[in-house]
């Protein structure tokens, strides 16, 4: 089902790309923080949802329950094609809808739906179960990914790899601890609680896997009531399957 909706509110966030790669500093006394991810990648779990969808609250409650796990990166993408059916989702964005449709096209799916769960890039209808973690061969093939705060921005760096083809990726700015009292539409009367809400999604264009690469995202720190985290997901450019992911909350 696909419906048009009124323009949605977006965060004022800027994205800038760079083409160099260098070593990241370790956490410093000035508040700088960083992480370097190698080996097994966390399982990337994407939920496509809407506050206007009556079957979505159980899926959101399940995704909320993944909070705190280091082996999983949960992402809640709120789509906007339910917004004109009685209750506009304040977290919905056309970018989330476009991403869901693009991945559906890659998979040969005839349409999109909510709630939809994607695990490691694939449509996954067996939630709340998750697939087994990636094997050792996949883990050793995962490129090294570094993510660090640099003042009012985040910088990601990816090492050159021996694999062929191209790499790509995307930024996701996440917020937790949101609550909505729904007053109309299919979920009228319900109080919905949201974690892992994608408030900003920004794809990064592909580059040759044999070259090191970096990208930069300028983003405000948000407010204490809704803790903000910044994630970068590295993907295979052709299939859009996640290869590595890192997240910082600093």
Q: What is the pLDDT of residues 103-117, one digit of tens each?
A: 999 999 999 999 999
Quick check: is 7 in a domain?
Answer: no
Which has more pLDDT, 22 or 63? 63
Q: Would 9 be classed as within a structural domain? A: no
206 located within any domain: yes
In a domain, 119, yes or no: yes
The verdict on residue 193 lying in a domain is yes
Task: Summarize the confidence of residues 169-183 as an average pLDDT.
Answer: 97
Residue 1 lies in a domain: no
pTM of the model: 0.85
In a domain, 159, yes or no: yes
pLDDT of residue 15: 34
SS (H, E, C) the chain: CCCCCCCCCCCCCEEEEECCCCCCCCCCCCCCCEEEECCCCCEEEEEEECCCCCCHHHHHHHHHCCCCCCCEEEEEEECCCCCCCCCCCCCCCHHHHHHHHHHHHHHCCCCCCCCEEEECCEECCCCCCCCCCCCHHHHHHCCCEEEEEECCEEEEEECCCCCCCEEEEEEEEEECCEEEECCCCCCCCCEEEECCEEEEEEEEEEEECCCCEEEEEECCCCCCCCCEEEEEEEEECCCCCEEEEEEECC
Q: How many domains does the chain have?
A: 1
Mean pLDDT of 75-86: 96
pLDDT given at position 132: 85
Would the pLDDT of 48 be above 70? yes
Domain that holds residue 234: 14-248
């Amino acid at each position: 089902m696909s419906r048009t909706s009124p323009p949605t509110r977006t965060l004022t966030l800027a994205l800038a790309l760079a083409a160099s790669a260098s070593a990241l500093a370790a956490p410093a006394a000035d508040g700088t923080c960083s992480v370097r991810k190698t080996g097994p990648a966390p399982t990337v779990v994407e939920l496509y949802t809407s506050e206007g969808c009556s079957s979505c609250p159980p899926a959101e409650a399940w995704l909320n329950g993944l909070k705190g796990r280091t082996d999983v990166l949960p992402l809640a993408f709120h789509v906007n094609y339910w917004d004109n059916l009685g209750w506009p989702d304040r977290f919905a964005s056309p970018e989330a809808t476009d991403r869901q449709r693009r991945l559906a096209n890659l998979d040969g799916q005839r349409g999109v739906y909510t709630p939809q769960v994607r695990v490691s890039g694939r449509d996954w209808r067996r939630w709340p179960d998750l697939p087994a973690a990636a094997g050792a061969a996949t883990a050793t093939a995962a490129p090294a990914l570094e993510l660090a705060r640099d003042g009012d921005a985040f910088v990601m760096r990816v090492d050159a790899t021996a694999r062929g083809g191209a790499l790509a990726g995307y930024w996701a700015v996440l917020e937790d601890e949101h609550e909505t009292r729904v007053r109309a539409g299919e979920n009228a009367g319900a109080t919905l609680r949201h974690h892992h809400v994608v408030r900003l999604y920004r794809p990064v264009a592909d580059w040759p896997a044999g070259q090191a690469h970096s990208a930069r995202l300028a983003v405000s720190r948000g407010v204490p009531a809704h803790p903000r985290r910044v994630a970068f997901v590295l993907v295979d450019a052709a299939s859009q399957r996640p290869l590595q992911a890192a997240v910082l909350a600093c």
